Amino acid sequence: MSSQDFIRQSGGLGTKSSYSKSIWRTIHTDPPLLVGITLLCGFGLLVLFSASGGDVAVVQRQALTMVVGLVVMFIVAQFNVRFFRQWAPTLYAAGLGLLGLVLLVGVEANGAKSWLDLPGLPSFQPSELMKFVVPMLMAWYLASRPLPPRFKHLFWSAVMILVPAALIIIQNDTGTAIMVTMSGIFVVLLAGIRWRIVIAGFIMLLLASPSWFIFLAQEHQKNRILTFFNPYRDPTGAGYNIIQSQIAIGSGGIYGKGYGDGAQSHLDFIPESNTDFILAVLAEEFGLLGVLFLISMYLFVLVRGCYIAYAANDTFSRLLAGSITLTFFFYVFVNMAMVSGLLPVIGLPLPLMSRGGTSVVTLFVGFGLLMSIQTHGHNRSV
Amino acid sequence: MAKKWQLKDHEAERELFSRRLVLAAVFVVLLFTALIIKLVNLQVFQYEYFSARSDGNRLHSQYVPPARGLIFDNRGQLIADNQPIFNLTVVSEQVGDLDETLDYLDTLIDLSDDEREQFNNRLRRNRVPFTSVPLRYVLSEADKSKIAVNSFRLPGVAIEPQFVRQYPLKDLTAHSVGYVSEINRAELDSFDDEDRENYGGTNHIGKTGIERTYEDLLHGTVGYEIVEKNNRGQVMRRLDRTDPIAGKNISLYLDSQLQIVAEEALGNFRGAVVAIDPNTGGILAMVSKPGFDPNLFVTGISNKNYSVLVTDEINTPLFDRSTNPYPPGSTIKPFLGLGGLHHGLVDYEFAIEDPGYFRLPGVRYRWGDYTLRTAIGGGHGHTNLQKAIYQSCDTFFYDLGNRMGIDTMHGFMSQFGFGENFALDINYARTGVLPSREWKRATRGEPWYPGDTINSSIGQGYMWATPLQLATAASIMANKGKVIQPRMLKAIDGEPYDPEILDRVSDVVVNDPDYWRYIEESMSMVVHRAFNDVFREYGTAYEAIAMEDPEMPYRMAGKSGSAQVVGISQEILQSDDIQVSDPNKDHALFISYAPAENPSIKPQIAIAVFVENGEHGSSVAGPIAKAVTDAYLLDILQIDFAAMDSAC
């Protein structure tokens, strides 16, 4: 118990003042996380303004989405984390039900049949829901089992992760399926799965990948992989995006071409410059320094997320907070690596920078959960 | 239950979790490090490369075509103008599905198969990628708006303004000024690198006539523009520009008014008129009739229009009659006569008794006198050189030619430009044939026969000359032997053009300069010697020219000619029952210069008229020469001959 006390006391990052702490606790908000998120949002809107060619309407909509996200975050943070633990199985079952419903009556947009347009509700993507419901369920499941988890539990964990992932893949939304799977896998990894199983699984994945490539991969996926190894095999087709984005990033240099002066983006050479490839715009206009600034802000949020996970006082909270934080990192890294040519193109946005709707709100749900874990857990023990 | 649900060791679990979290943090740092290394590589080490690539993406150098030089006539009237048109152009690299786009355009503006074919031909040519290729020249206003309204459905399709040639005189200048048309594959292949660069922005090139001869002057020098383009190839900004240097404006000696007169004077005949100012060598008129509308070629003549032009085998409008050779007939007689005087074969007194035919010693064949073939027969009787010219006596020249021999004839006649092209800037003109022993052996593989000389001495047989050559010879005659080579170009950008002639043709020198006066007098008699009591003592063209116009204020030196097209026997020609079909009729020719025999003024114009199947040189071709001379001396130069006479 004494170690827990120590952790609890250092939770305020050296702030001894219990007055200010209590105010933030009361409204269930974590100030460092809020600052990091707000900075990222502000920077994101700034870059988006340039990337959209000075389109005020686009920036306004994005700002509105972010405000909605903040409100959602605030609401989520008001719930005690025990509430989510209790309701995790129910939420999961509901999520699966909605995914099933999407298969029947889903609406298609951008090639993915993942939208649900129910009467009386704004249209939304149930697959987004699963991004935080799956880690919630995994945390619920593993937290009540002895850790490190046994093989039996791992098997059921795999089933719980793969069923929604499979349903999302059927919707033709590979990016989200990967995120959902990863968010579940992070829980398992943090829960202390044995290394030999991890290594064995990794080797199996490596061995299976060629047959996936040959038999299962769709044409555009194969193209993306081949293009990753040599963008110039089809410079005006599949390789165009990555070539142009590398040109944008590279020509930005250390200091960048200046805000609003990115020739690549303003002459429309960068496709998806408002969404997946917004990093290229940032890198072109703000240079390496701008990218390092962005990475440091992300790092700040990640460190805070890790701290919340570390400081949480029950296994469910720890696992959930850790998974949310790592998933956030995964998002950031995969997008940046893809845009800079370190990974094949996977259609994932850059969190808080890319223009988006539902997926932005989903991020804030994650932040809300982190704040809930940080504020409620400690409240109880105080 | 206790076995299934083991007691959880919270402390151990927390430690396990913490270890995993630290490990994850290590991974995060490692992956971010990899990312930063990649970014440093891109943005620091490969910065130069990507910076250049970025500029290469957006910056494009494009050609700015120069404005083609204008062409003016002798008195400053525009005869080749540049006119703005709107073209429908396609950048094939920016069009998704070309066939689909063409089909869609077809629904909008009715593309003909012809247009599609020509467009595909243009596409197949060597060209720089991402340049626009014309699909249709001269879009109508209605078509323009249809394209504009649907432009969002037509990526890569644009309406581009362009200046193209326009020839306001149409048919009148079709052959002499020529036309520009699209550069073809063969021309592109013949370009050196410099030309290829210079024609980078040019669609058209001079194909015939002056447009071709002075292509280098008229074209100008290409300019460049550095522009910033977006990913759809639209020009966003102009960053730098090197202005093109427009082609030179040139003035010709050609007088469009005279050109019109000559064309009208030819009436319904096919033929050619060439008029030269003997003092400058300037070509005042050069007409080939029928012509064609050269404007059709500028914007790509349709197959239909083109086939109309090429399938007309009688009129052959594309064929330039002024620079292609025909048998000159009797028009060469004054020159041959001068040669006879110069070489001492005849003098002013020398005469023959003409029986109406000529016979080589020991040969039974009779060379008949064509000028008499339809007349009542018999010969010209006592005939000296002067009468032989104004009466066009064949027998006299048979005898003269026979005694002169082909070598002397060739040597003397070539000084007047027969068998050669004296023109300085009409290099496409044919040289005709001034036959010689060598020529016959080289081309026919046969020796020269005396009979060949007989035929040549009346401008038949192997002898061929172009109307341009005949006009040239007449102008040399008018200049009394001084050769001023014919030329088209008068001035460049208003500066008089005085070309340096490398192989200048030397003047014609005869033993006694009085011979020139004698021949001029004889040629004047062709036009002016009236009928009198004596049988066959009048000039052959008197009835058609001087008698027609008793008020004629100046004297004109002329010579008619009729050239046999096909061999038709005398009996058939003399029979009234048989009609000779038009294309088999003789060609009518006339050469002249004026004013002649005038002490106050030198000859101002030398003319050759060729009338295809016109039959009679004196009565058909002669009046045409008269009309052109009248127009030039009286209307254009406005010479007051009456005042001149009273001054004398």
Residue B439 pLDDT greater than 50, yes or no: yes
Cα–Cα distance measured from residue A346 to residue A334, given in angstroms and rounded to the nearest whole number? 8
Chain B residues within an 8 Å CB radius of A192: 13, 16-17, 20
Q: Which of B613, B591, B618, B622 is nearest to B278 (CA)?
A: B591
B483-508 exposure pattern, b = at least 16 Cβ within 10 A, e = fewer = bbbbbbbbbeeeeebeeeeeeebeeb
Cβ-defined contact of B35 to A342 (cutoff 8 Å): yes
Residue B132 pLDDT greater than 80, yes or no: no
Region of poorest pLDDT, from A32-36, B46-50, B252-256, B588-592: B46-50
The predicted pLDDT at position A8 comes to 46
The predicted pLDDT at position A21 comes to 61
pLDDT tens digit sequence for B179-204: 999 888 888 888 888 888 888 888 88
Residue A18 pLDDT greater than 70, yes or no: no
Nearest to B42 among A302, A326, A340 (CB): A340
Fold of B60-252: Penicillin-binding protein 2a (Domain 2) (3.90.1310)
Cα–Cα distance measured from residue B100 to residue A159, given in angstroms and rounded to the nearest whole number? 50
Mean pLDDT of B586-608: 94
Average pLDDT of chain B to the nearest whole number: 88
In B, minimum Cα distance to A147 occurs at B13
B231 inside 8 A of chain A by CB: yes
ipTM of the complex: 0.90
DSSP string covering B59-96: EEEEEEPPPPPPEE-TTS-EEEEEEEEEEEEE-GGG-S
Cβ-defined contact of A250 to B42 (cutoff 8 Å): yes
Mean pLDDT of B102-121: 85
A289 inside 8 A of chain B by CB: no
Beta partners for residue B221, in sequence order = B245
Cβ-defined contact of B20 to A244 (cutoff 8 Å): no
Cβ-defined contact of A251 to B28 (cutoff 8 Å): no
Q: What is the dihedral of CA B11, B16, B17, B23, to 10 degrees?
A: 150
Cβ-defined contact of A252 to B43 (cutoff 8 Å): yes
List B330, B436, B457, B475, catalytic entry: B330
The CA distances from residue A63 to A19, A185, B602, B644, in Å, are 32, 32, 94, 98
Query: Chain B neighbours among A 174-193 (CB < 8 Å)?
Result: 186, 189-192
Instruction: Categorize the per-residue pLDDT at A10 as very low, low, confident or very high, splitting at 50, 70 and 90.
Output: very low
The predicted pLDDT at position A13 comes to 47
Residue B580 pLDDT greater than 80, yes or no: no
Mutation for B interface: A190, A193, A254, most B CBs within 10 A: A190
C-alpha torsion sign, points B19, B20, B23, B24: negative
B232 inside 8 A of chain A by CB: yes
Mutation for A interface: B8, B10, B17, B27, most A CBs within 10 A: B17
B571-607 exposure pattern, b = at least 16 Cβ within 10 A, e = fewer = eeeeeeeeeeeeeebbbbbbbbbbbbbbeeeebbbbb
Mutation for B interface: A182, A251, A291, most B CBs within 10 A: A251
Residue B273 pLDDT greater than 50, yes or no: yes
The predicted pLDDT at position A11 comes to 45
The predicted pLDDT at position A4 comes to 45
Instruction: Categorize the per-residue pLDDT at A379 as very low, low, confident or very high, splitting at 50, 70 and 90.
Output: very low
Cα–Cα distance measured from residue B453 to residue B354, given in angstroms and rounded to the nearest whole number? 19
Residue B149 pLDDT greater than 70, yes or no: yes
A280 inside 8 A of chain B by CB: no
Chain A residues within an 8 Å CB radius of B44: 253-254, 288
User: Distance from B6 to chain A by nearest Cα, in Å?
Assistant: 6
Residue B295 pLDDT greater than 80, yes or no: yes
C-alpha torsion sign, points A79, A83, A89, A93: negative
The CA distances from residue B548 to B535, B542, B624, B628, in Å, are 21, 8, 12, 15
C-alpha torsion sign, points B447, B449, B453, B458: negative
Residue B174 pLDDT greater than 90, yes or no: yes
Cβ-defined contact of A189 to B57 (cutoff 8 Å): no
B10 inside 8 A of chain A by CB: yes
Fold of B263-283+321-485+496-625+642-647: Beta-lactamase (3.40.710)
Q: Which of A129, A122, A126 is nearest to A112 (CA)?
A: A126
The predicted pLDDT at position A3 comes to 44
User: Distance from A304 to chain B by nearest Cα, in Å?
Assistant: 12
Instruction: Categorize the per-residue pLDDT at B107 as very low, low, confident or very high, splitting at 50, 70 and 90.
Output: confident
Residue A73 pLDDT greater than 60, yes or no: yes
pLDDT above 90 coverage of chain B, percent = 54
Mean pLDDT of A263-274: 81
Q: What φ, ψ does residue B328 adopt, rounded to 5°?
A: -80, -15
Q: What φ, ψ does residue B57 adopt, rounded to 5°?
A: -65, -45
Query: Chain B neighbours among A 226-265 (CB < 8 Å)?
Result: 244, 246-254, 263-264
Burial class (CB in 10 A: 0-12, 13-18, 19+), A329: buried
Beta partners for residue B204, in sequence order = B182
A269 inside 8 A of chain B by CB: yes
Domain residue extents for chain A? 2-381
pLDDT above 70 coverage of chain A, percent = 92
For B390, residues 6+ apart whose C-beta sits below 8 A from its C-beta are B522, B523, B525, B526, B529, B538, B539, B540
User: Distance from B228 to chain A by nearest Cα, in Å?
Assistant: 9
Cα–Cα distance measured from residue B278 to residue B482, given in angstroms and rounded to the nearest whole number? 9
Residue B574 host element (H or E): helix B570-574
CA atoms within 13 A on the CB side of A85: 20
Residue B417 pLDDT greater than 90, yes or no: yes
The predicted pLDDT at position B327 comes to 93
Query: Chain A neighbours among B 15-44 (CB < 8 Å)?
Result: 16-18, 20-21, 24-25, 28, 31-32, 34-36, 38-40, 42-44
Average pLDDT of chain A to the nearest whole number: 86
A33 inside 8 A of chain B by CB: no
Domain residue extents for chain B? 60-252, 263-283+321-485+496-625+642-647
* Residue contacts between A and B (CB atoms, under 8 Å): 137
Cβ-defined contact of B54 to A264 (cutoff 8 Å): yes
The predicted pLDDT at position A264 comes to 83
Q: Which of B369, B67, B379 is nearest to B204 (CA)?
A: B67
Cα–Cα distance measured from residue B311 to residue B314, given in angstroms and rounded to the nearest whole number? 9
Mutation for A interface: B5, B11, B13, B228, most A CBs within 10 A: B13
- What residue type is B560 in one-letter code? S
Contact B545, B630 (CB under 8 A): no
The predicted pLDDT at position B373 comes to 52
The predicted pLDDT at position B128 comes to 61
The predicted pLDDT at position A382 comes to 32
Tokens of B630: 């009248």
Instruction: Categorize the per-residue pLDDT at B226 as very low, low, confident or very high, splitting at 50, 70 and 90.
Output: confident
Q: Which residue has the tokens 């595909």?
A: B120
The predicted pLDDT at position B130 comes to 66
The predicted pLDDT at position B129 comes to 61
The predicted pLDDT at position B514 comes to 95
Residue A15 pLDDT greater than 50, yes or no: no
Chain A residues within an 8 Å CB radius of B92: none
The predicted pLDDT at position A270 comes to 82
Task: Using DSSP bridges, classify how beta strands B489-492 and B495-496 pair: parallel, antiparallel or unpaired.
Answer: antiparallel
Residue B581 pLDDT greater than 70, yes or no: no
Nearest to B38 among A191, A310, A340 (CB): A340
The predicted pLDDT at position B531 comes to 85
Q: Is B330 a catalytic residue?
A: yes
Residue A19 pLDDT greater than 70, yes or no: no
Cβ-defined contact of B24 to A291 (cutoff 8 Å): no
For A291, residues 6+ apart whose C-beta sits below 8 A from its C-beta are A279, A282, A283, A336, B39, B43
pLDDT tens digit sequence for A323-373: 999 999 999 999 999 999 898 888 888 999 999 888 899 999 999 999 999
Mean pLDDT of B158-165: 86
Chain A residues within an 8 Å CB radius of B10: 315
For B40-47, which contacts have Cβ atoms below 8 Å and span 24 or more sequence positions? B40/A288, B42/A246, B42/A249, B42/A250, B42/A283, B42/A340, B42/A341, B43/A249, B43/A250, B43/A252, B43/A253, B43/A254, B43/A283, B43/A287, B43/A288, B43/A291, B44/A253, B44/A254, B44/A288, B46/A250, B47/A250, B47/A251, B47/A253, B47/A254
Cβ-defined contact of A192 to B16 (cutoff 8 Å): yes
Cα–Cα distance measured from residue A265 to residue A50, given in angstroms and rounded to the nearest whole number? 9
DSSP string covering A143-205: HTS-SSPPHHHHHHHHHHHHHHHHHHHHTT-HHHHHHHHHHHHHHHHHTT--HHHHHHHHHHH
- What residue type is A112 in one-letter code? A
Cα–Cα distance measured from residue B174 to residue B98, given in angstroms and rounded to the nearest whole number? 37
Instruction: Categorize the per-residue pLDDT at B162 as very low, low, confident or very high, splitting at 50, 70 and 90.
Output: confident
Q: Which residue has the tokens 């006649």?
A: B413
Instruction: Categorize the per-residue pLDDT at B579 as very low, low, confident or very high, splitting at 50, 70 and 90.
Output: low
Chain B residues within an 8 Å CB radius of A267: 57-58, 228-231, 236
* Higher-confidence position of B120 and A73: A73
* The 3-state secondary structure of B494-553, one letter per residue: CEECCCCCCCCCCCCCCCCCHHHHHHHHHHHHHHHCCCCCCCCCCCCCCCCCCCCCCCCC
Instruction: Categorize the per-residue pLDDT at B238 as very low, low, confident or very high, splitting at 50, 70 and 90.
Output: confident
pLDDT tens digit sequence for B475-529: 999 999 999 999 999 999 999 998 888 888 899 999 999 999 999 999 999 999 9
* The 3-state secondary structure of B445-506, one letter per residue: CCCCCHHHHHHHCCCCCCCEECHHHHHHHHHHHHCCCCCCCCECEEEECCEECCCCCCCCCC
Residue B608 host element (H or E): strand B605-611
Helix axes B98-109, B141-149, angle to 10 degrees: 130
Chain B residues within an 8 Å CB radius of A249: 39, 42-43, 50
